[in-house]
Amino acid sequence: MQKLFNAPLYAQIREEIFAALRSGRWSANDPLPSETKLASEFSVSQGTIRKAIDDLVAQNILYRHQGRGTFIRRHDEQQSLFRFFNLSRTDGTKPVPESLNIHCKTRKGLKHECLALQVPTGDRLIEVLRLRRLDGQPVILETILVSQQRFPELNKRDLPNTLYELYSDDYNVHITRAEEQIQATLPDATVISHLNLEPTIPLLEIRRIAFDLHDQPVELRISQCVTGSFVYTCSLN
């Protein structure tokens, strides 16, 4: 393989592999071709393939298992419950969140919602409202918004606790990263009734936008959280 432009070889290969990944060339269940196979396909050495894959592993898009192969990172039940869930007990341990769906309907998106999802203003969205319990206590009221066009019939399905697994399995939409914005708010009437709160209790409002393999915003999720026994945790490096 010749070196083009000024980008190092491994970076070019990384982009080619990533592009192949996005195009759905390999199933999310089977391993990728082995490093040696990819090496001969791209006509570079195994070490170069390895370095390319290193980057994708660092981005959490792939993971490796010595002796078995390299796989696409999926949101499966076990890890998905924790990977994108930053609420923990005050001692740092993480509770297992449970979900209770309250409703699931379609409606026209508001301006700021459509902007966040990068769909035309006024497009129809699917709204899921659900209550989440931690250690048995109702702690979070969660509003989930996705494009109806992108997730047809989602509102007619049985929604599992881990939605990202459903997106991946049934819609071929793979969530790779998310951005969260956090504010302090006071609860509105809906939150007060579902979480059974005093109106003066301050809440954490988490606004999350989740992105897919193409780095397109796919889901807007607004969570209202009571933070008595639980705290939002974040590591800085």
Partner DNA sequence: TCATATAATTCATATATAAGACTTAGATGA
Partner DNA sequence: TCATCTAAGTCTTATATATGAATTATATGA
Q: For binding to DNA (CB under 7 A), which residues are involved?
A: 1, 3, 6, 8-11, 31-37, 44-48, 50-51, 64-70
Contacts of 170 (CB under 8 A, 6+ apart): 157
Query: Whole-angstrom Cα distance, residue 151 to residue 132?
Result: 22
Q: By CB neighbour count within 10 A (0-12 exposed, 13-18 middle, 19+ buried), where does 226 fall? A: buried
Scan residues 50-79 and list those touching a copy of itself (CB under 8 A). 58-60
* Beta carbon nearer to DNA, 48 or 224: 48
Q: Nearest approach, Cβ of 34 to DNA (angstroms)?
A: 3
Q: What angle do CA 24, 125, 216 make, to 5 degrees?
A: 35
Query: Whole-angstrom Cα distance, residue 163 to residue 73?
Result: 15
Task: Write the interaction track for a copy of itself spanning residues 203-222; mark x where CB under 8 A is met and - where it is not.
Answer: xx--xx--------------
* Beta carbon nearer to DNA, 39 or 220: 39
Query: Whole-angstrom Cα distance, residue 129 to residue 99?
Result: 10
Q: Which of 86, 101, 143, 155 binds a copy of itself (CB under 8 A)?
A: 86
Contacts of 84 (CB under 8 A, 6+ apart): 164, 175, 178, 208, 210
Pick one of DNA, a copy of itself, none as the site partner of residue 51 (Cβ within 5 to 8 A by kind): DNA
Given the rule CB under 8 A, which of 29-37, 95-103, 164-172, 174-182 is the region that contacts a copy of itself? Answer: 174-182
Residue pair 185/203 in contact (Cβ under 8 Å)? The answer is yes
Query: What token pair was written down for 112?
Result: 């700021």
Q: Nearest approach, Cβ of 194 to a copy of itself (angstroms)?
A: 17
* Beta carbon nearer to a copy of itself, 83 or 133: 83
Give residues in contact with a copy of itself (CB under 8 A): 58-60, 83-84, 86, 90, 176-186, 200, 202-204, 207-208, 225, 227, 231-237
